[in-house]
């Protein structure tokens, strides 16, 4: 059983049995709405009482007249409500399961019923359509419009809702999810992620049991610190890279989220995703619209590899800013200097940037604040004037010096936050999120500014705008966000329970303004590591910082997990001093994404510097395959002693295989060949090793020719072993 349902009462089933339902309507006025993508169908059906249910979500049928028959072939127990498969389950009427929406009406009544009223489909282009369905309460003047945006080729659906009413007074929304997905299978397997600083994206796989499992965040900002909203659900058995049906999901929202995964009494799985309603009842005025963020999901029947390749091509094409464009390699000074630098030191680093051969120098934290200089993380945050003793000639002089070195210049900011030891805090204590009557509590010695306040939005916009106005050649921004929200309270907000939501809206408003004025400039999304990564934020950012943990061994695992959801072009990987591995290993790992460095270049031994310079040249020749090609995870470090990841250019003429030893026990290595994927079986390829450390020899014969067929069926041995712990191979068509 792949996926479908039965939620219908015996009565409804009888009706269905008696009337032949065809296409989108029938004599019984049952309305069936099939929503198809290239491989799947999500089928909604309004029954004769206008309850709107999802009757099928699974592989698409050849004949779409047959969808309406789906409910008849299930023999599950009755659902007692006619709502167990509701497309947007209300609460307070008949529903007995977790609702998508809970309200208190203007008259204090807490019941909601939602019935189908109408639907329409708008074609955006050949690949994208938007289905909207109007649901109305038969008693109260309250409606929800559900939206399903389908990306046909990528099998992706974005689902959101717009809630409104025309009641006499305000209505309180107690819960307001984006949407529900219903799945039916013999068993369900959840892959979820947890973490903390430097421990992002730790996977956990478990069999889903009856009841509710909730993935959520209540942190406000840096919302993914302990858990991101992305997850996978495999049907029948845990999916592998190439086999199994698996749903990838996530919420396009950069604040508190909530994903309820409920195995219901009929053994169907309901997944309800949306903004977390924690401490956030929303007061909705008559005629005001509450638009939820999009719940994004993708169903693949050929395992996790296909799912992530589809996710990547969707993200590059439709979500990530300049997702199909180019990126800048860079040298960052964070770990090279921390807060300890001055103009002379930076001039030296600008020269290093040129010597290394990367595109840009990125100046990190510590360049600002005078009354309370930013010489550590305890002071100065919020005071965005250049620190006069470190930078007497300001940023302008650095941008100029960068130009003299033929490199670009970028800068770090954290404009949403403030140290209590700052002029900003002294001047505008009312701009800070804190409980006026309670003791302040700090995260990294700082507090969060109140982005619900338009004056604060202007301030944050101005931080960026001033930098660009004064330095039009500024080429890059790293936008950090280190603190969570404690003591949630806004001095300017009328409804305190709107704070978490309006904060995120305020952030998006600022980012909109920035992008309206500076549409192209690359920006990195950073949050004390990977504390804020999602597809709403990535519409404004070209890349994200996955973690401050840059130990390459840790990164192999972490980047592996991120790669399920985010493409290499958006994943910033820097070579640092973290970890015990040699420089080559660190560079090879960082090359599997957007390459950067955070090391003291002028301290590098000659051979190391030579290696880095050559590796950057190699990267420049391969980066388009890594950024725009298809990713195949071909050897899983969680299951064997090596990790191998393969990037294949779309025309299948070039591919890059990265392999690493992850187990130091005696004799471990690539004992068996690695079976390659995604090549053209009929093409002939040569394989050469690249990123060879000066003075060492490759064990790979670059003259040997292999068919794609051989490489995919028999495989290729990268010859990874204790003496060759990381190996980068370029696979090129012989023509
Ligand atoms: C946290 C970031 O993750 C680091 O890369 C660095 O920018 C520091 N903040 C600076 O304070």
Predicted confidence (pLDDT) at residue 607 exceeds the cutoff of 80: yes
pLDDT at 597: 98
pLDDT confidence of 6, banded at 50, 70, 90?
A: very low
Distance between CA 183 and CA 688 in Å, rounded? 46
Residue 2 confidence (pLDDT):
37
Enumerate residues 6+ apart whose C-beta is below 8 A from 152. Answer: 36, 37, 38, 126, 127, 128, 129
Ligand 1: residue whose CA is nearest its atom 11:
365
Looking at the CA of residue 529, tell me the nearest atom of ligand 1. Answer: 3
Q: Which atom of ligand 1 is nearest to the CA of 547?
A: 3
**pLDDT-derived band at 77, boundaries 50, 70, 90:** confident
Q: Whose CA is nearest to atom 6 of ligand 1?
A: 334
Residue at which a domain ends, from 296, 318, 340: 318
DSSP code of residue 444: T
Distance from C-alpha of 680 to C-alpha of 137, rounded to nearest angstrom: 55
* pLDDT of residue 8 exceeding 70: no
**Residue of 216, 183, 231 whose CA lies nearest to 59:** 183
* CA 524 to centroid of ligand 1, rounded, Å: 11
Closest-CA residue, ligand 1 atom 4, reads 528
Residues with Cβ within 8 Å of residue 567, at least 6 apart in sequence: 311, 312, 315, 316, 320, 323, 627, 631
Ligand 1 center to 338 CA (angstroms): 9
Ligand 1 pocket test target in 338, 374, 478, 482 with most atoms within 8 Å of CB: 482
Is residue 465 a part of any domain in this protein?
Answer: no
Q: Which of 562, 479, 480 is nearest to 523 (CA)?
A: 479
- The answer to the question of residue 79 being in a domain is yes
pLDDT of amino acid 76: 85
Q: Which atom of ligand 1 is nearest to the CA of 527?
A: 3
Q: Supply 283's token pair.
A: 């007061």
Contact residues of ligand 1, CB 6 A cut-off: 334, 364-365, 412, 480, 482, 526, 528-529, 545, 548
**pLDDT over threshold 60, residue 100:** yes
Is 569 a domain residue? no
CA of 477 to the centre of ligand 1 (A): 13
Taking residues 443-462, what's their average pLDDT? 98
Q: Which two tokens stand for residue 295?
A: 């719940």
What pLDDT, on a 0 to 100 scale, did the predictor assign at position 18? 33
Residue 716 located in a structural domain: yes
pLDDT tens for 49-70 read 999 999 999 999 999 999 999 9
Provide the domain limits for residue 664: 632-733
Q: Distances in Å between the alpha carbon of 675 and those of 404, 634, 672, 718, 734?
A: 48, 7, 9, 11, 19
What distance in Å separates the CA atoms of residue 659 and residue 674, rounded to the nearest whole number?
9
pLDDT(27) > 60: no
Band (pLDDT 50/70/90 cuts) for residue 28 is low
The Cα 133–Cα 121 span in angstroms is: 9
**What is the structure's pLDDT at 1?**
35
- Which residue's CA is the closest to the ligand 1 atom numbered 10? 365
Q: Residue 10: its pLDDT value, please?
A: 37
How far is it, in rounded angstroms, from Cα 188 to Cα 205?
A: 10
Alpha carbons 492 and 450: distance in angstroms, whole number: 9
Residue nearest to atom 9 of ligand 1 (CA): 528
The tokens describing 527, both together, are: 């949050």
- The candidate with the shortest Cα–Cα distance to 200, out of 532, 692, 625, is 532
User: Of 282, 303, 318, at which residue does a domain stop?
Assistant: 318
Ligand 1 centroid to residue 582 C-alpha, Å: 24
492 CA from centroid of ligand 1 (Å): 30
| Domain CATH for 636 | 2.60.40.1180
Residue 112 lies in a domain: yes
CA distance 162 to 160: 7
**Paired tokens of 61:** 């049928």
CATH number, domain with residue 162? 2.70.98.60
**What percent of the chain has pLDDT above 90?**
95
Place of tokens 């420049």: 620
Ligand 1: atom nearest CA of 412 is 7
Q: Quickly list DSSP for 255-294.
A: S-EEEEEEE-TTSEEEEEEEE--TT--EEE-TT--EEPPP
Q: How far apart are CA 160 and CA 387, in angstroms?
A: 45
> Distance from the CA of 651 to the center of ligand 1, in angstroms?
38
550 C-alpha to ligand 1 centroid (Å)? 12
CA 328 to chain centre: 21
Q: Is residue 241 in some structural domain? A: yes
Tell me what pLDDT residue 16 has.
37
Q: Say how many Å lie between the first and final Cα of the chain, rounded.
A: 46
Q: What residues pair up with 574 in beta bridges, in sequence order?
A: 596
Last residue of a domain, one of 289, 318, 347: 318
Pocket test for ligand 1, best of 332, 336, 364, 380 (most atoms within 8 A of CB): 364
pLDDT for 13 equals 38
Q: Which of 221, 330, 365, 419 to mutate to test the pocket of ligand 1 (most atoms within 8 A of CB)?
A: 365
Q: Is residue 126 one of the residues assigned to a domain?
A: yes
How far does the centroid of ligand 1 lie from the alpha carbon of residue 346, in Å? 18
**How far, in whole angstroms, is CA 131 from its chain's centroid?**
24
Q: Calculate how far, in angstroms, residue 31's C-alpha sits from the geometric centre of ligand 1.
A: 54
Distance 726 CA to ligand 1 centre (A): 28
Residues in the chain: 735
What is the number of other CB atoms lying within 10 angstroms of the CB of residue 168?
A: 11
How many angstroms does the Cα of residue 637 sit away from the middle of ligand 1? 28
Rounded Cα distance between 287 and 113, Å, is 19
| Structure confidence at residue 12 (pLDDT) | 37
401-420: per-residue pLDDT in tens?
999 999 999 999 999 999 99
Mean pLDDT of all residues in the chain? 95
Compute, in angstroms, the gap from residue 480 CA to the centroid of ligand 1. Answer: 7
Count of structural domains, the chain: 2
- Pairwise pLDDT comparison (21 vs 615), residue with the higher score: 615
Distances, alpha carbon 421 to alpha carbons 219, 367, 371, 383, in Å: 23, 16, 9, 10
Q: What pLDDT sits at residue 19?
A: 33
Mean pLDDT of 689-706: 98
- pLDDT attached to residue 24: 45
Query: What whole-number distance in Å separates Cα of residue 181 and Cα of residue 286?
Result: 29
Residue-wise pLDDT for 421-436, tens only, equals 999 999 999 999 999 9
Q: Which atom of ligand 1 is nearest to the CA of 548?
A: 3
Query: Is residue 359 a part of any domain in this protein?
Result: no
Mean per-residue pLDDT for 297-305?
98
Query: How far, in Å, is the centroid of ligand 1 from the Cα of 378?
Result: 14
In the predicted structure, residue 383 carries a pLDDT above the cut 90: yes
Average of pLDDT values for 304-313?
Answer: 98
* Three-class secondary structure of residue 381 per DSSP: coil
456: Cβ contacts below 8 Å, ≥ 6 apart: 431, 449, 450, 506
| CA-nearest residue, atom 1 of ligand 1 | 528
CA–CA distance from 651 to each of 94, 317, 628 (Å)? 54, 17, 11
Query: What digits encode the pLDDT tens for the residues 141-191?
Result: 999 999 999 999 999 999 999 999 999 999 999 999 999 999 999 999 999
Q: Which atom of ligand 1 is nearest to 377's Cα?
A: 11
Residues 622, 721: Cα–Cα separation, whole Å: 24
Ligand 1 pocket test target in 412, 419, 444, 578 with most atoms within 8 Å of CB: 412
Q: What separation in Å is there between the alpha carbon of 386 and the centre of ligand 1?
A: 18
The Cα–Cα gap between 168 and 688 comes to: 73
Distance from chain centroid for Cα 610: 35
């Amino acid at each position: 059983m792949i996926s479908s349902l039965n939620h219908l009462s015996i009565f409804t089933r009888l009706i269905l049995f008696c009337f032949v339902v065809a296409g989108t309507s029938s004599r019984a006025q049952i309305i069936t709405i099939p929503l198809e993508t290239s491989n799947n169908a999500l089928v909604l059906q309004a029954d004769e009482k206008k309850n709107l249910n999802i009757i099928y979500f699974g592989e698409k049928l050849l004949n779409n007249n047959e969808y309406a028959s789906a409910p008849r072939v299930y023999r599950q127990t009755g659902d007692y409500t006619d709502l167990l498969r509701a497309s947007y389950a209300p609460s307070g009427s008949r529903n007995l399961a977790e609702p998508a929406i809970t309200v208190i009406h203007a008259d204090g009544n807490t019941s909601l019923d939602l019935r189908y009223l109408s639907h329409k489909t708008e074609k955006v282009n050949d690949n994208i359509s938007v289905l909207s369905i109007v649901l109305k309460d038969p008693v109260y003047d309250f409606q929800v419009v559900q939206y399903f945006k389908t990306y046909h080729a990528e099998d992706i659906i974005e689902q959101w809702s717009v809630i409104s009413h025309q009641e006499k007074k305000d209505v309180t929304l107690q819960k307001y999810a984006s949407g529900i997905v219903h799945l039916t299978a013999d068993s369900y397997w959840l892959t979820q992620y947890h973490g903390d600083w430097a421990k992002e994206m730790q996977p956990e796989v478990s069999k889903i049991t009856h009841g509710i499992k909730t993935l959520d965040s209540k942190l406000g900002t840096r919302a993914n610190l302990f858990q991101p909203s992305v997850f996978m659900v495999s049907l029948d058995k845990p999916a592998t890279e190439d086999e199994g049906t698996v749903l990838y999901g996530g919420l396009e929202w950069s604040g508190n989220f909530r994903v309820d995964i409920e195995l219901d009494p009929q053994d169907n799985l309901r997944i309800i995703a949306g903004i977390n309603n924690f401490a956030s009842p929303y007061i909705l005025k008559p005629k005001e619209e509450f638009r939820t963020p999009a719940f994004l999901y993708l169903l693949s029947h050929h395992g996790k590899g296909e799912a992530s390749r589809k996710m990547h091509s969707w993200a590059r094409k439709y979500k990530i800013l300049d997702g199909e464009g180019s990126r800048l390699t860079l040298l960052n000074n964070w770990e090279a200097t921390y807060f300890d630098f001055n103009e002379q030191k930076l001039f030296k680093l600008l020269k290093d940037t040129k010597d290394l051969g990367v595109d840009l120098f990125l100046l990190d934290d510590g360049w600002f604040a005078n009354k309370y200089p930013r010489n550590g993380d305890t002071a100065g945050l919020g005071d965005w004037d250049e620190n006069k003793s470190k930078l007497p000639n300001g940023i302008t002089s650095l941008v100029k010096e960068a130009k003299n070195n033929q490199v670009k210049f970028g800068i770090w900011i954290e404009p949403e936050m403030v140290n209590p030891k700052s002029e900003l805090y002294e001047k505008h204590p009312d701009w800070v999120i804190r409980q006026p009557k309670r003791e302040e509590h700090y995260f990294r010695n700082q507090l969060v500014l109140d982005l619900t306040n338009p004056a604060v939005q202007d301030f944050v916009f101005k931080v960026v705008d001033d930098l660009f106005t004064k330095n039009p050649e500024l080429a890059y921004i790293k936008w950090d966000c280190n603190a969570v929200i404690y003591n949630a309270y806004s001095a300017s907000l009328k409804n305190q329970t709107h704070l978490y939501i309006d904060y995120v809206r305020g952030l998006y408003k600022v980012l909109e303004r920035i992008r309206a004025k500076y549409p192209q400039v690359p920006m990195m999304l950073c949050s004390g590591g990977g504390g804020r990564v999602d597809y709403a934020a990535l519409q404004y950012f070209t890349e994200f910082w996955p973690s401050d943990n840059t130990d390459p061994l840790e990164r192999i695992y972490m980047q592996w997990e991120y790669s399920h959801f985010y493409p290499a072009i958006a994943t910033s990987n820097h070579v640092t001093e973290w970890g015990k591995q040699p420089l080559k290993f660190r560079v090879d790992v960082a090359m599997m994404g957007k390459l950067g460095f955070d090391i003291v270049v002028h301290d590098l031994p000659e051979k190391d510097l030579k290696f880095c310079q050559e590796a950057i040249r190699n990267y420049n020749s391969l980066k388009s395959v890594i950024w725009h090609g298809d990713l195949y995870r071909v050897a899983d470090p969680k299951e064997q002693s090596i990790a191998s990841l393969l990037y294949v250019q779309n025309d299948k003429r070039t591919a890059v295989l990265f392999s690493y030893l992850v187990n130091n026990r005696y004799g471990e290595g690539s004992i068996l060949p690695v079976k390659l994927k995604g090549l053209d079986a009929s093409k002939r390829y040569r394989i050469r090793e690249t990123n060879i450390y000066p003075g060492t020899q490759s064990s790979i014969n670059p003259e040997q020719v292999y068919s794609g067929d051989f490489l995919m069926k028999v495989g290729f041995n990268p010859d990874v072993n204790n003496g060759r712990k990381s190996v980068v191979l370029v696979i090129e068509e012989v023509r």
